[in-house]
Structure 1
C-alpha cells in the first residue's frame, strides 16, 4: 500500500492515503487499526473510485494528542479532512468502530453522504466482546503498558499468530489482534484508545447506538456486511437490521470473522463496486430531512438479505 500523505487540520497532523479517480469513497478503519487494514482491497477499488483511507487521530501515523475522541468528534474530523482535500460528497464505508463513525457522519452530514456501507460495525446493538469492554476499566493503561513491553510483546504476537494457524472459528482473527497489539506499544495510542472506548462503551457494552435514528436512512442507500464468525461483535446485529432501518441490504460472509475485507477481499471489493453501480447516490433535501425528523420513524420495511 502507498505511503500515507499528511495534512494538518486544527493543528494536528493527519495521515491518509488517496488513490485512484472517480466518485469518492471514504474508508474508515476500526479500533486500534489504521489505513493499512484496507490494503487488500485498495488497488481494486482505486480502479473505479477516488479512495481516501485516513488514520483517525490517536491511530496509525496520525497525531495522538489530548483531543476529542468521541464518535461525533471523529465524524467532524472526517468532514474537515474531506473539505481540506476538496472533496464534497462521498460513499462512506466503516469497519467496526469506523462503522460507528460512518453512521455518525451520515447523520451529521447527510448533504455530504451519498451511500453508507457498514462492515461488522459498532452501534447496531449493545453486545461487544468482553476484551473491548475491559479497556474502559481502571488500570487498563498500566496493564497494557506491561503486556506490550519489548520481548513480552513479541512473544504474545507469536503465540497469537500460531493460534490463528489452528484454523478454528474462535481463533480466526488473532493475526489481526497481534497487529493491534503492536499499536498499543505507543503510550499515546493507549491513552487515545482508552478515551475513545470510554466514550462509546461501558461495562455493559456499547453505549452509542443508531437504533433511534435508523429511520433516517430511508433517504440513503445502506448496505450492511458482516462475517458470520465474528467473535467481536455478533452477526445478529446485522440480522436485526430489518427492525432498525427502513430500507437496507444485508450480506453475510459465511466463512469470515470480524475482518471480511481481509478474509475475502476479492468478494468484498466486487460487492462494493456492484452496490455502487446499481444504486443512485442520495440527494439531500432539507425539506425531506425535516419531514423525517418530524415523523420520528417510518413503518419498518424488511431488509434485503443476501448470503
Structure 2
C-alpha cells in the first residue's frame, strides 16, 4: 500500500483548511442539537449531502467549481463532522426521521421559500432522495453513487478495522479502505483523499450502513415529479449501475442515469472535472445551457 510523506499529508491538510476558512459557517440549533453548515458562492441554492463516514469534505474537489455558479450549502449531518449527534442509540429506528427533519429545517432556515437544488452522495443519496419531497422549493435532484437502491453489490475486498490500530497502521487502514470501497484502484488514493477520509471517519458517530443497504429510494421517489440525474462510477463496488439505473428511473422521462468511466464509488472526487460539468449543466437555468448533458 502506498505511503505518503509528512509533507504530502501537511499539504493536503492545508488545502482542506484553506477551503474551510473560505466558507461562511452557519451553526445553529435544530431539534435541540447543534448543526453546522458551510456556504460558498452565490446564485441559486445548491445543497450537497455527504456520504456515510463523511462530512462536507466529501465535496472538496467540487466546491470551487460549483460555487462559481451556485450558492453552495454543505451541511455536516447530525452525528457527522462538526455537527452534534442525537442523544439516542446508534441503531434507533427514529434516527432517519430525525435526520431528515434536521436537514429540512436547515434548508428552510438558510434558503426559505426560494428555489433550491439538491445533490446527495452514497448514504447521502438515500437521504437526499427521502428529503427531496419535503422541500417545497426543490427544482431538481442529483444522486451520485447513491445508496438506497437495494440491488446487488460488487464487493471485492474486506474493509480494515481502523479503530483497532493507531499511527501509521491507522493511516494504512484508511488507505486500504479507500482502495477497497471508495476509489477505483490504489493508484487513485492520494494524500488529499486519505486526509478527507481519515478526518471524516474519526468524527463519525452515526451508523449509516444498514440504512444504505435498504431498498428505500424506489418507494420514496415513486411519486416524485421533479427531474432526477443519477450517476455511478463504472467500478463502484456498491452497485451494478446497469440494474440500479433503470430500476430507479422507473420509466420517468425526466430521469436520467449514466455510468462514469475510470471511477469508483467516490465519483465526484475521482472524476471531479466530469462531475462538476455534469452538475453545472444539470442545475443551470435552461436558458443558460443549450441541450442539457449533450
Provide the C-alpha distance between the structure 1 equivalents of 2:59 and 2:36, rounded to a whole number of angstroms: 14
Task: Give per-residue Cα distances to partners, 1:225-282, cap 9 Å, x unaligned.
Answer: 11111123332344324662523111221111112211222221111111223659xx
Structure-2 residue corresponding to 1:14:
35
Matches within 5 A, 1:134-213: 145-147=163-165, 149-157=166-174, 169-171=184-186, 176=193, 179-185=196-202, 189=204, 191-193=205-207, 196-198=208-210, 200=211, 206-213=213-220
Residue among 268, 271, 274 paired with 1:267: 274
Contact 1:173/1:259 (CA < 8 Å) preserved in 2?
no
- Paired with 2:176 and 2:221, the residues of 1 have a C-alpha distance of 41
Q: 1:25·1:49 contact (CA, 8 Å) conserved in 2? A: yes
1:99 and 2:125 correspond: yes
Aligned to 2:238: 232
User: In the alignment, what sits opposite 2:4?
Assistant: none
Instruction: Tell whether 2:102 aligns with 1:81.
Output: no
1:112 aligns with 2:112: no
Following TM superposition, by how much is the alpha carbon of 1:75 offset from its aligned partner in structure 2, in angstroms?
A: 2.0
Deviates more, 1:25-34 or 1:112-121: 112-121
Return closer, same or farther for 1:275/1:56 CA change in 2, 3 Å cut-off: same
Name the count of aligned residue pairs: 259
**SS of corresponding position for 1:216:** coil
Distance 1:105 1:128 in 2: 24
The Cα of 1:169 is off from its aligned counterpart by 4.1
Bigger mean CA offset, 170-179 vs 220-229: 170-179
**Distance of 2:239 and 2:136 partners within structure 1:** 30
Q: Structure 1 residue 244 and structure 2 residue 250: aligned?
A: yes
Aligned counterparts, 1:44-83, within 5 A: 44-67=65-88, 70-83=95-108
CA contact (8 A) 1:120 1:258 kept: yes
Alpha-carbon distance in 2 for matches of 1:66, 1:129: 35
8 Å contact kept, 1:231–1:258: yes
Match of 1:215 among 188, 205, 222: 222
Whole-angstrom distance in 2 between the partners of 1:242 and 1:129 = 18
Matched residues in 1 for 2:232 and 2:30: separation? 33
CA distance in 1, matches of 2:107, 2:258: 28
- The correspondence for 1:258, drawn from 247, 257, 265, is 265
In structure 2, distance between residues paired with 1:28 and 1:182: 17
What do the CA deviations read for 1:8-42 (whole angstroms, capped 9, x no partner)? 22232212211111111000010011101112111
Give, in whole Å, the separation in 2 of the partners of 1:177 and 1:209. 30
Q: 1:273 is paired with a residue of what secondary structure?
A: helix
Residue 26 of structure 1 aligns to a residue whose secondary structure is: strand
Secondary structure class of the residue paired with 2:223: helix
Q: What is the TM-score of this pair, normalised by structure 2?
A: 0.74
Aligned partner of 1:39 among 60, 68, 75:
60
Alignment RMSD: 3.4
Deviation digits for residues 191-236 of structure 1 (CA, Å, limit 9, x no counterpart) = 422xx334x15xxxx224222343323x201111111111233323
